[in-house]
A and B are shown apart, each in its own frame.
Chain A
Amino acid sequence: ETGVTQTPRHLVMGMTNKKSLKCEQHLGHNAMYWYKQSAKKPLELMFVYSLEERVENNSVPSRFSPECPNSSHLFLHLHTLQPEDSALYLCASSQSPPTGGDVDEQFFGPGTRLTVL
Chain B
Amino acid sequence: EDKVVQSPLSLVVHEGDTVTLNCSYEVTNFRSLLWYKQEKKAPTFLFMLTSSGIEKKSGRLSSILDKKELFSILNITATQTGDSAVYLCAARFQGAQKLVFGQGTRLTINP
Residue in contact with B97 in the complex, picked from A44, A88, A103, CB distance below 8 Å? A103
Total contacts A to B, CB within 8 angstroms? Answer: 58
**Do B104 and A108 have beta carbons less than 8 Å apart?**
no
Contacts of A109 in B (CB 8 A): 41-42
Chain A, residues 75-107, CB within 8 Å of chain B (1/0): the string is: 000000000000010100010100011111111
When A and B form their complex, which 9 residue pairs have the shortest distance between CB atoms, in order from nearest?
A43-B101, A110-B41, A108-B42, A42-B101, A111-B41, A105-B45, A110-B42, A108-B43, A42-B103
Query: Number of B residues contacting the other chain (C-beta, 8 Å)?
Result: 24
Residues of B within 8 A of A (CB): 4, 31-32, 34, 36, 41-45, 48, 88, 90, 92, 94-95, 97-104
Q: Is A15 an interface position by the 8 A CB rule?
A: no
The bracket for how many chain A residues form the interface is: 20 to 34
Residues of A within 8 A of B (CB): 4, 31, 33, 40-45, 48, 50, 55-56, 88, 90, 94, 96, 100-111
Contacts of B42 in A (CB 8 A): 4, 90, 108-111
